[in-house]
A and B are shown apart, each in its own frame.
Chain A
Amino acid sequence: MTAQPAAAQIAISMTGISKRFGPVQALHDADLEVARGTIHGLVGQNGAGKSTIIKVLAGILKPDSGTISVNGETVGNLTPSSVERLGVHFIHQDRLLVPTATVGEAVFLRHELGFGPFVSRRSMNRRAAELLKRYFDLELPVGILVQDLTTAQQKIVQITRALAQKASVLVLDEPTAALVKREVDSLFAVLRRLRDDGIAVIFISHYMQEIEQLCDRVTVMRNGTDVGTVDPAQTPIDEIIAMMIARDVGEMFPKRSVEIGAPMLEVSHLGMAGSFEDISFSVRRGEIVGLTGLLGSGAKEIVQCLFGLDRAERGSVKVEGKTLSLSSPVHAVQGGIAMLPEDRRAHGVAIDLSVRENISLASLGRYSGSGFVKRRQENQAIDGLIRELSIKTPGRDTLVRQLSGGNQQKVAIAKWLSCQSRVYILDEPTVAVDVGAKVEIYNLLNRLAGEGAAILMLSSDLLELVGVCDRVLVVYRGRLAGEFSGAELDGDRLLAASSGARIAKAEAFS
């Protein structure tokens, strides 16, 4: 299996695939070759191009150039249904199942069992139950609806759907993110059995342990292209991780020296069933603390709780020594937390309002006397902020919609600056922001910290975390799995801790 597969055994061959979205080159001359009867891992950091190349294979995205062949035959112009006819099936990360369908209906949708135009729900339900029992040893109540299943059960139903249609290539995108150990084990057993039956399995995962355990070959992607295909049994995980991380950091991250003071944000024993447990940490004056973890690890949910968007069930949060009620974003703001949610357009800025209106929204009180807005004072303050943050806008009355992503983010930050917040929580602050604006945002964070703010930043960009943060907390499967600072703070360690590759070692740090 470690030898180069012979041409006749190639199930999927993608060569020279390029794809550009506006200014972003998502894929650049990427190759992927998968042999029959192997489990082929696909790894890479967020944005490396894994999902894009899979969407190209799925016929969801049209590549700008490159050729694809399935089972030796070159295929052009793939569509989701033509790909399926070729026997290539996808288990998408988001559970693409009809919530109001029964398990039987979901498994056989578009491949319904029955006679002529008529369906037999009974035989679909019975056959689905057989498959679930055979492959997963799972027994569900007959006729249960998809929306009443757990996340793991829904994932299993998705896989069963592909199996029911006799897949020759099975592509799984982060299939274990929502599964518990026992379910992961039975999934792996199923995948191994399918491999032995000659099926090619493409397995995308962030969990290095799983890649090592399961895969016969693994292709590493970085910056939109494949940087190598190796045998995980013969390649140390550290080496694979090193392949994933770019080294050309350059001058992106300005350095600073700030005196770190008293704790401003203290989180103790925060817990929410099913998401995270026993999370304790603090962020001190002048400190930038990073928080990271894979999708489903609970890192995102922790930030949601601090924002008051989700409710923690246990634990407490103190801001400057005062206990904060986490029941709604209003309390978080009143408690002095400035929030920059990831979805800027949904929560961070009002894109159909002007720069001026956005900035003064959170601090209207300061510019109003006797119920009226003191326009001149407001304008002066806002022009000051626009200059200070070098927000590139024709003027304060330009609609935020017309600004670039980076400048929208700066408006969102300016909004909080204008009400003089002391604690900042940022959720993926540089997603969809170009490099130049990223550097400006990093400078801004440094300046805020320098002025004595405490900053907590959720990010999945490891370079950014290493470059900007004083300390980085890693969440793995709902628990703090490591804390890195100083010389220990590097991309390899962060990636290893968040993918559980060195869980035992990481625990020694926490």
Chain B
Amino acid sequence: MTATTMKAAGTDTAQSEKQPRVQNTGKRLGAAAVRLGAIATFALILLYFALFAPGFLSSFNLINVVEQSAILGVLAFGMAVVIIGGGSNVTEGGIDLSIAANMGLCAAVFATVLQAGYPDAVALLAAIACGIAVGTLNAVAVVGLGILPLLASLAVMNIAAGAELTLTQNTVVGAASPLLAFLVSGSFLGISALAWCLILFSAIMLVFIHKTTFGLRLYAVGGHPEAARAAGINVPLHVGFTYLFSGFCAAIASVLAVSRLSASTPGSGEMLLSVLAAALLGTVFSRRLVPTIGGTLLSVLFIGFLANGFQLLNVSSYWVNGVQGALILLVVAVTSFARGPEASR
């Protein structure tokens, strides 16, 4: 492909321009095609559900999906931040496989502290402290010890999952509190508290990642760590922060999860695939092929609607896992292709 596009380049100024414009245009068109293709696929699938899944378009169903997506959304934002700061290289870039297991551990801590009779504020702080502690473990392994994030967070995932089982003895820990009651039944302007959580969190993330100096530098660190370092940015600090932040997101998500089920339940590790799918899928909405808050939110909702549509069509929920796995493969393959060979080092 490279050879043919380069042939089309004019040779008058080609004296020593090693990257003729045409090649870049090709790459840019590739990225645009990926973006449009993804959006078109989303639209087609949603259209299919709208036409054939009974009750898909009812306002009750739509709000239900948004509510269900709140937990996934908060986790996916955490994962997106890790990928932004660590780079989107699939093998060496940033990834936090421990995020779902961390949420399970935080939920267990939250529910246990509540059951022990402490107020909401204490339980919330305990959950956040737990999430950030697990995040710190990731940060130390990745930044301090230089272990590949894929491997480091896999190990931490097992530590978190083991700690959860030790704490709960693999049982359901029931929990009730004013905060949980508000999250379940509260509503404002006809929109439930859980949905508000997703909306507010998205808005905060949007400003944090896309409007601040910190967000800009985070993208620079993930895009080209050497260049960021040469510009005087503290690269390890930024990368380490992303893991702490994803731990924080796990803690917030755990509170939402406990509120939905009025308990902490085992098996939250199963969320990982959806979180990963949402964060990776989110990259196709950006012309730079990096995660964005808007793109991640769209993907989260898409995955929510996908699960919901399958349910309404009476397709076994087991299929959803397969589809999510296929989505991950597809997204990774397509984006590495569109990024071109030099980016997939």
Residue of B nearest to A105 (CB): B216
Report which A residues bind B (CB closer than 8 A).
80-81, 84, 90, 92, 96-101, 105, 109-110, 112, 114, 117-119, 145, 147-152, 177-181, 272-275, 277, 296, 298, 311, 313, 477-478
Q: 13 additional contacts, CB 8 Å, given A98-B220, A98-B227, A150-B20?
A: A96-B224, A96-B231, A100-B290, A110-B232, A119-B215, A119-B216, A145-B288, A148-B24, A150-B24, A177-B16, A273-B20, A274-B11, A274-B16
Interface size for B (C-beta < 8 A) is 44
Q: Roughly how many angstroms separate A311 CA and B231 CA in the complex, as a whole number?
A: 35
| Secondary structure dominating the interface of B | helix
Q: Which of A84, A149, A180 has the most CB of B within 10 A?
A: A180
Give which listed residue, A119, A147, A178, A272, contacts B17 with CB less than 8 A.
A178
* Contact call B223/A101, Cβ cutoff below 8 A: yes
Q: Which 7 A-B pairs have the closest CB atoms?
A: A81-B232, A98-B223, A100-B288, A100-B223, A96-B227, A98-B224, A274-B14
Instruction: Using known A-B contacts A84-B232, A145-B287, A296-B16, determine if residue A105 contacts B213 with beta carbons closer than 8 Å.
Output: no
11 intermolecular pairs with C-beta atoms under 8 Å apart = A96-B231, A100-B224, A100-B288, A101-B223, A105-B220, A109-B227, A147-B27, A148-B28, A274-B16, A275-B18, A298-B16
Nearest chain A residue, comparing its CB with the CB of B25: A148
- Is there contact, CB below 8 Å, between A99 and B231? no
Quote the shortest CB–CB distance from A279 to chain B (angstroms): 14
User: Across the two chains, which residue of chain A brings its CB closest to B7?
Assistant: A313
Which chain B residues (331-345) contact chain A, with CB distance < 8 Å?
Answer: 343
Given A178-B17, A273-B9, A311-B3, A99:B343 Cβ within 8 A? yes
B15 and A117 within 8 A (CB): no
* CB of B48 closer than 8 Å to a CB of A: no
Q: Is the CB of A117 within 8 A of B214?
A: yes
Residue pair A180, B232 in contact (C-beta under 8 Å): no
Contact B220 A118 (CB under 8 A): no
Complex CA–CA separation, A101 to B224 (angstroms): 10
- Of all chain B residues, the one with the shortest Cβ separation from A177 is B16
Q: Which residues of B contact A109 (CB under 8 A)?
A: 216-217, 220, 227-228, 231, 233
Which residues of chain B come closer than 8 Å to A477, judged between CB atoms? 15-16
Query: Cβ of A180 and Cβ of B17 under 8 Å apart?
Result: yes
B270: CB under 8 A from chain A? no
Query: In the complex, are the beta carbons of A152 and B17 less than 8 A apart?
Result: yes
- Please pick, from B24, B229, B231, the residue contacting A147 in the complex, using a CB distance under 8 A: B24
* In the bound complex, CA of A80 to CA of B217 (Å): 17
User: Does the CB pair A313–B231 fall under 8 Å?
Assistant: no
Nearest neighbor of B12 in chain A, beta-carbon distance = A180
CB neighbours of B6 from chain A (8 A): 272-274, 313
Structural contact, A180 and B16, CB atoms closer than 8 A = yes
Docked Cα-Cα span, A455 to B135, in Å, equals: 57
- Complex CA gap A443/B212 in Å reads 62
Q: Are B3 and A99 neighbours in the complex by a CB distance under 8 Å?
A: no
Is B14 a contact of A273 with CB atoms below 8 Å? yes
Q: Is B189 an interface residue (CB 8 A)?
A: no
Taking CB atoms, residues of chain B closer than 8 Å to A274 are 6, 9, 11, 14-20
Q: Which residues on the B side are within 8 Å of A145 (C-beta)?
A: 287-288
Q: Cα distance A99–B27 when bound, in Å?
A: 13
Q: Which of A118, A181, A296 has the most CB of B within 10 A?
A: A118
Minimum C-beta distance from A300 to chain B (A): 11
Q: Which residues of B contact A177 (CB under 8 A)?
A: 16
Q: Which residues of B contact A149 (CB under 8 A)?
A: 24
Residues of A within 8 A of B224 (CB): 96-100
Q: Is B59 an interface residue (CB 8 A)?
A: no
Interface centre among B11, B219, B287, B288, by most chain A C-beta atoms within 10 angstroms, is B288
Distance A131 CA – B9 CA, assembled complex (angstroms): 28
Contacts of A98 in B (CB 8 A): 219-220, 223-224, 227-228
CA distance A274 to B290 in the complex (A): 30
Is B166's CB within 8 Å of the partner chain A? Answer: no
Q: Which residues does chain A contribute within 8 Å of B7, judged by CB atoms?
A: 273, 313
Closest chain-B Cβ to A117's Cβ sits at a distance in Å of 5
**Which residues 226-250 in B have Cβ within 8 Å of A in the complex?**
226-233
**Known contacts A98-B219, A118-B211, A273-B11: A110-B16 contact under CB 8 Å:** no
List residues of chain A with CB within 8 A of the CB of B228: 98, 109
Tell yes or no: B13 within 8 A of A by CB. yes
A80 & B17 in contact (Cβ 8 Å cutoff): no
Residues of B within 8 A of A147 (CB): 24, 27
Q: Are B16 and A179 within 8 A (Cβ)?
A: yes
Residues B13 and A180 in contact, CB atoms below 8 Å apart: yes
Do A110 and B227 contact each other (CB < 8 Å), given the known contacts A118-B211, A274-B17? no
